[in-house]
Chains A and B, each alone.
Chain A
Amino acid sequence: MKIEILFPEICNLYADLQNIEYLKRCDPSIEIIHTDLNRRPLFLDGGIKLVYVGTTTERGQELVIKSLMPYRDEIVKSIEDGQFFLLTGNASEMFGKFIKCDDGSEIKCLDILPTYAVRDMMHRYNSLWIGQYGQEDVVGFKSQFTQCYFTEGAGYGDTYKPLFIAERGEGLHPGIKEEGIRWNNLFMTYLLGPLFIVNPLFTHSFLEIIGAENTEIAYKDASMRSFLKRCKEFREPERGFTY
């Protein structure tokens, strides 16, 4: 199985790339392919099981949009055809309609997801997060300058389903509990960093979904010990949750 990481030279903040390395530790048959900026993504020509894009800087977002814009229609078709995508942190913003900047200007994005993001560069939103993927607990961290919203007329439903449901912490934006989006085989979440490493249960499910040969979790005991401690901590009522 091949996993293509798009633009690892810039989409690499907060150790996001370790997510894919961890999948490979679980299933050593996974082959990781790095595709640099301004190259045609390999998945467009088939043979790639999962495409991954991680968190990047604000300038990085613009470079990614510029790099992918020529392939926008092909990307949409590939998602409609069932291509697996995983977008973490602010990566999904490039796939939305636009990013609204502090000065009121808008950055035109790929317009693949019916979403937009609003930046507030002087107020970083930081939060611990606990919720569920189906019946399974998921823990994570949010740390972002933006909040994401559906465009007018769009929202969660049969087509765009929430990836997670928040138990504590906010969803896609403050005030809702639905977090992330699953659209066909595209998974997006604002949870960032080593999401798989801190979530052995979700990792196992994800490996099954993408059809990995081996779905056993690497360093399972250590990962579970850390995961269970975090679940317990994040549920303590006295524990602060946003920063």
Chain B
Amino acid sequence: MGLRFICALWMAKLSIPALKITGHNATDFPGSLAIKICPDFLERIGKPATIVAVTGTNGKTTCANMICDAYEAAGKKVLCNRYGSNINTGLSTCLLQGATLTGKAKYDTAVLEIDERSATRVFPSITPKYMCVTNLFRDSIMRNGHPEYIAGILDKNIPAETKLILNGDDLISGRIAIDNPRAYYGIEKQPSDVVECENLLNDMRICPICGSKLVYDYRRYHHIGKAHCSSCDFKSPEYDYSGHDIDLEKNTIRIRDNGGDYEYPLSNDSMFNIYNTCLVVALFRELGYSGEELAKIMEKVKIPDTRFNVQKSGSVSVVTQLAKDKNALAVSRATDYVRHLPGHKKMFLLISCYKDEHHWSENTCWLYDCDFEMMNDPLMDQLICTGPRAPDFYMRLLYAGVPEEKIFFELDERKAAREFDLQKDDTVYIFCGIDAFDLVDDCRKIILKRAEEEGL
């Protein structure tokens, strides 16, 4: 066991109440302290027998939370890093919280969201039984480079015995660690599918085997869909868990596997979240839950409301839509979702990477990978460009073809919330990153108060 390890464990455990008393959230520091005292802490700390890891560019937090909710709905208490960071220090914090004073695991199952870039530091010490991968897309240019690079990191580091739960419609993440055991989930052809890419991001255009052009049989968005090589026999994998018959009125999807064809409730009607449901179903079917049992469990699985939240005042609705800034894919998907919702809307852009603004200036390349063209929509009545990057949003919207008269420009976010044109029956979508929740809250309150005071 080692004195150093015990010292690290106790010091880290003691730091948690100390941090809480002083108003800190204690999600990263205890693990960081433990690793500082005992560099191989993550390897030594006791781990639950079953570890379900979740990674991918987009949707990993949502999926990890859904998996935890599903476990809880099934009556099982699991350890998870729901409120912690997803890198080695955060995972250490999580595991030490779930360990006894001698470092033994108190739980038999853990659900760990893992940052895909952290695989090099995490997987020598943690061997997940299952690893769920949502997708791989372009992400922060600074940290993640490009999806092939991230796929390469996962390839090299995922333990050989880990079973992968993969998105069969994503030819980038679907091909990682190709020799590992795997199960594919996916969604069969939908009426809204296309063949040619309608998005700016399209990162799977050539065959990964021979470099010839890929031909898409159908494409949902970006590189998500089913494809085959125009030259060799490479093609998308067959699904083990095949989503079909999506019913958005009933909010259900049927998923067929080799044990049957079952109907499951959906917790959200966006295609992105329907994929997340498929992932959770595939995992729990792999874990041995019956289709009937799982359908009941899935009724209790919700999308956390920090990601999609609606508040009303009079006839005005304010919808907070998480759209991770610096991530062209996340903003594109969120925009595509919102533009297809019925009714007129106003878009309040709080996606200025506020965290970056504290110490440097944002790399804005992602703005031109992102489908701002979708904001050039007849139902989007006003686009509010605000925050430090407002001039860049303004330029980007003009480039996307949005008429100048539809763009409201104000650097100060709260002033923008007070001054943009708010009308009766408006639905205002606040697009925000994960580092702007306080600001979002302020702007939302201002808009709702205006609605009340102006009798809208």
Contact = CB atoms under 8 A, between A and B. Distances in A.
A75 B211 CA distance: 23
Interface residues of A, number: 42
A222 B360 contact: no
B398 interface: yes
Residue among A15, A122, A226, A241 with most chain B CB within 10 A: A15
B365 A141 contact: yes
A18 B360 CA distance: 24
Contacts of B367: 15, 194
B369 A198 contact: no
A57 interface: yes
B379 interface: no
A121 B145 CA distance: 10
B337 interface: no
B143 A15 contact: no
B363 interface: yes
B205 A124 contact: no
Contacts of B399: 22, 25, 197, 218-219
A239 B388 CA distance: 14
Contacts of A193: 141, 363-365, 368
A117 B151 CA distance: 23
Interface in A221-243: 222-223, 225-226, 229-230, 233-234, 239-241, 243
B400 to A, nearest CB: 11
Nearest to A241: B360
Interface in A204-223: 218-219, 222-223
Nearest to B141: A143
Residue among A18, A122, A241 with most chain B CB within 10 A: A18
Contacts of B395: 197, 219, 222-223, 225-226
B446 interface: no
A226 B142 contact: no
A15 B361 contact: no
Contacts of A37: 206, 211
A230 B390 CA distance: 12
B360 A243 contact: yes
Contact of A128 (B120, B200, B360): B360
B368 A194 contact: yes
Given A9-B205, A10-B205, A37-B211, A59 B148 contact: yes
Nearest to B370: A15
B99 to A, nearest CB: 30
Contact of B145 (A10, A22, A145): A145
A215 B189 CA distance: 46
A124 B145 CA distance: 8
B359 interface: yes
B365 A14 contact: yes
A126 interface: yes
Interface string B132-144: 0000001001110
B363 A226 contact: no
A13 B398 contact: no
A143 B362 CA distance: 12
A4 to B, nearest CB: 18
A63 interface: yes
A9 B391 CA distance: 30
A240 B368 CA distance: 23
Contacts of B369: 14-15
Contacts of B206: 9-10, 37, 63
Contacts of A124: 142-143, 145
Interface string A12-34: 01110010001001000000000
B42 to A, nearest CB: 19
Given A15-B366, A15-B368, A219-B399, A58 B360 contact: no
A126 B200 CA distance: 23
Interface string B115-141: 000001000000000000000001001
B213 interface: yes
Contacts of B200: 15
A88 B211 CA distance: 23
B419 interface: no
Given A10-B206, A240-B360, A243-B360, A222 B398 contact: yes
5 contacts: A14-B365, A57-B146, A194-B367, A218-B399, A239-B360
Interface of B: 120, 138, 141-143, 145-146, 148-149, 200, 205-206, 211, 213, 359-361, 363-369, 391-392, 394-395, 398-399
Given A38-B211, A126-B363, 7 more contacts: A10-B205, A14-B365, A37-B211, A193-B363, A219-B395, A222-B395, A234-B361
